[in-house]
Amino acid sequence: MGKFSIKEDLLDAARNGDNDAMNKLVETFAPTVESIAAAYIGRSPLTHSDLIQEGMIGLLSSVYSYSSSGGAEFHTYSVKCISNRIMTAVRNQLRNKHTPLNSYVLIDSIDLTDGQANPQTVVEMQERMNVLHHKIKTELTDLERDVLQLHISGHNYNSIAEILSVSAKTVDNALQRARKKLKEK
């Protein structure tokens, strides 16, 4: 994984719904996600596409939660978010604690050639991210969107409930509705 610099304006544009900026981030980080996910293949009950999907969720989380005031560069922060998301998914799957929650939408496998993601795969990932981003913006209620964003950022149900001044059951229901809406084709 080579180190590279991501400009703050690209992150701001992606956060504000600029699909081209988000596509650029996905394209830039696809090999990183693949590399991190590859370390868990064969050592985890998750499929390759599940690992990639978790890594992409970690990337999305890093885009929305990164702050340069923390002292780390975005690349460093995003790699940590991607790794943590994948490790958490593997741990959860091994515990079978969240069995109903582990039926994610599949993302096709990524083929690597000399450390670079296959261009067709990158385009497919960008299209999936665009569809997902569009669904989040148009199909989810404000509560569902807020709950999903906080959940992706690593908050548990109780902390989300406290932040949004709702019950933990309301958080659970909103998250379940959001998952169902995002899985529909």
Identify whether residues 87 and 15 lie together within a single domain.
yes
Higher pLDDT, 75 or 68: 75
pLDDT band for position 92 (50/70/90)?
confident
Higher pLDDT, 93 or 82: 82
Mean pLDDT of 99-109: 48
Tokens of 9: 């304006």
Lowest mean pLDDT among 38-52, 72-86, 112-126: 112-126
Q: Is 135 among the domain residues?
A: no
Identify whether residues 22 and 96 lie together within a single domain.
yes
The fraction of the chain above a pLDDT of 90, given in percent, is 23
Q: Is 83 among the domain residues?
A: yes
Mean pLDDT of 18-31: 89
Tokens of 38: 């590859």
Q: What is the pTM (predicted TM-score) of this model?
A: 0.54
Identify whether residues 57 and 104 lie together within a single domain.
yes
* pLDDT at residue 184 is higher than 70: no
| 4: helix, strand or coil | coil
Provide the domain count of the chain: 2
**Cβ count within 10 A of residue 63:** 24
Identify whether residues 155 and 87 lie together within a single domain.
no
pLDDT digits (tens, 9 = 90+) for 168-177: 999 999 988 9
Q: Is 182 among the domain residues?
A: yes
Q: Which domain holds residue 183?
A: 140-185
Dist CA 57 CA 92 (whole Å): 15
pLDDT for the residue 132: 80
Strand partners, 145: none
What CATH number is given to the structural domain containing 177?
A: 1.10.10
State which of 104, 129, 154 marks the end of a domain.
129
Identify whether residues 107 and 161 lie together within a single domain.
no
